[in-house]
Amino acid sequence: MNLDFSPETEAFRLKVREFFETDFPQDIIAKNRAGQALTTEDVRRSEMALGSKGWLASAWPEEYGGPGWSIEEQYVFDEELERAGVPTVTPMGVVYVGPVIYTFASDEQKKRWLPGIRNGSIGWAQGYSEPGAGSDLASLQFSAELKDGTYILNGHKIWTSAAQHADWIFLLARTSRGEKKQQGISFICCPMDAPGVTVRAIITIDGKHVLNEVLFENVEVPEGNRIGEEGKGWTYSQYLLGFERTSYARIGGKRAMLRHVRDVARAAPDGGNHHLIDEPSFARKLTEAEMAVDGLEMTVFRILSALSSGGSPGDAASTVKILATTTHQQITELMLEMTAFYAQAFGKGSSLSSDIPPYAAPDVAAYFGGRAQSIYGGTNEIQRNIIAKKVLDL
């Protein structure tokens, strides 16, 4: 198997790299690399910079405004974005709901929503999980009652990423009761500024505001905001989840993290008369992490080869979700080990003294933030069940 990219693809890589080094807002890259929280304005500027090049919806078909890149070019683009330290694209719009809209929505809905998603001017959030329906998503109780062409939304969504930045939210809502709990669920879009929508911040263990609760009290949206057929939302959600779980791979970002670990381990004394990279136990764990990223990349290549024929990632995306999240945690555990006792300062809320290395706080934040990766998007235990039942047919 030849894993080298063609000369044309490598030329494309240089074009993308030059854009990120010269034309992309450098203040946003600096802020992201420092581990600082991005404002809504930062997120919009970042994604509109990509949208202005036609590069935000990088995997979309050309007929819906995608750049028409090959699978290899999409992969290289994602790799260079991560390498440059550009903020990861908020996936709820271009990766999640965008493909659902251009695959299942009406022509009017495509005209209404796709342009803003494609150019980065409109942000989206995902309203799936509820306090009593996380990994068992089909148990959701969020209701949408249709009256005279208007849905009345009531319920409580939780762990909603980026809702504080969003203009719209796409929701799974129960519109009827069926024999199976997966039946009677519809896929509905709602503006975040609609009367009756309340957003409450959830501050996570890394001190960041990424997650939210979103409450709906008698929120009215027109029937035309439902995508596809009523009661078929579960089908659309499973299509979406394949793209979500594959998006976790982020090979370029993981390789950048590994380079950071190796550089620090070579340069920073471990408290004795040698460097951390000289410690056999640490060097072994670093090598194991590098091998894990290599294995993840090969798995992604196999799924991308299936996508090249126009299909969706399917149930095999669960494999990527497991490997990607556990590998991220494997790397961030090394980052925590590098920070040693400096990690204690992170959680105390006190100002950091000048003798604490600049990488310490971002590395500890990455470790804490990464704890959730094996939970969100469907826990890794659920993914293993999917693999056993639908991939291995056990």
Distance, CA of 276 to CA of 339 (rounded, Å) = 11
Span 54-68, average pLDDT: 92
pLDDT value, residue 143: 96
88 vs 199, more confident: 199
| Average pLDDT of the residues of the chain | 86
Distant-in-sequence, close-in-space partners of 146: CB < 8 Å, separation ≥ 6: 152, 175, 223, 230
CATH topology of 125-231 equal to that of 248-392?
A: no
CATH ID of 125-231, from 3.20.20.480, 2.40.110.10, 2.30.130.10, 2.60.120.10: 2.40.110.10
Burial of 337 (0-12, 13-18, 19+ CB in 10 A): buried
Fold exhibited by the domain 248-392: Butyryl-CoA Dehydrogenase, subunit A; domain 3 (1.20.140)
* Average confidence (pLDDT) over 264-270: 73
**Is pLDDT above 80 for 123?**
yes
pLDDT at 81 over 80: yes
Q: What is the pLDDT of residues 271-294, one digit of tens each?
A: 556 688 888 999 999 999 999 999
Closest residue by Cα to residue 109 from 130, 117, 317: 117
What CA–CA distances, in Å, run from 90 to 18, 84, 94? 22, 17, 8
Distance from the Cα of residue 58 to its chain's centroid: 15
Which CA distances in Å does 169 have to 7, 32, 97, 189, 216?
41, 25, 9, 6, 12
pLDDT digits (tens, 9 = 90+) for 159-209: 999 999 999 999 999 999 877 888 899 999 999 999 999 999 999 887 788
| Percent of the chain's residues with pLDDT above 70 | 87
Which pair of tokens denotes residue 165?
């930045």
What is the model's pLDDT at position 350? 45
Residue ranges of the domains in the chain?
Answer: 7-89, 125-231, 248-392
pLDDT (0 to 100) of residue 148? 96
Place of tokens 């450098």: 26
Mean pLDDT on 97-126: 96
Beta strands in the chain (DSSP E): 124-127, 143-147, 150-157, 168-174, 185-191, 197-203, 209-222, 226-227
Cβ-in-10-Å burial (0-12, 13-18, 19+) of 77 comes to buried
- Identity (one letter) of the amino acid at 214? V
- For residue range 232-246, what is the model confidence (pLDDT) as tens digits? 998 888 776 655 545
Nearest of 318, 322, 317 to residue 307 by alpha carbon: 317
User: How high is the pLDDT of residue 245?
Assistant: 47
Contact between 96 and 108 under an 8 Å Cβ cutoff? The reply is: no
State yes or no: pLDDT of 349 exceeds 50: no
How far from 369 is each of 99, 253, 331, CA to CA, in Å? 27, 15, 12
Nearest to 54 by CA among 122, 117, 124: 117
Amino acid at 149: G
CB 254 within 8 A of CB 328: yes
| Confidence grade of residue 223 (pLDDT, cut at 50, 70, 90) | very high
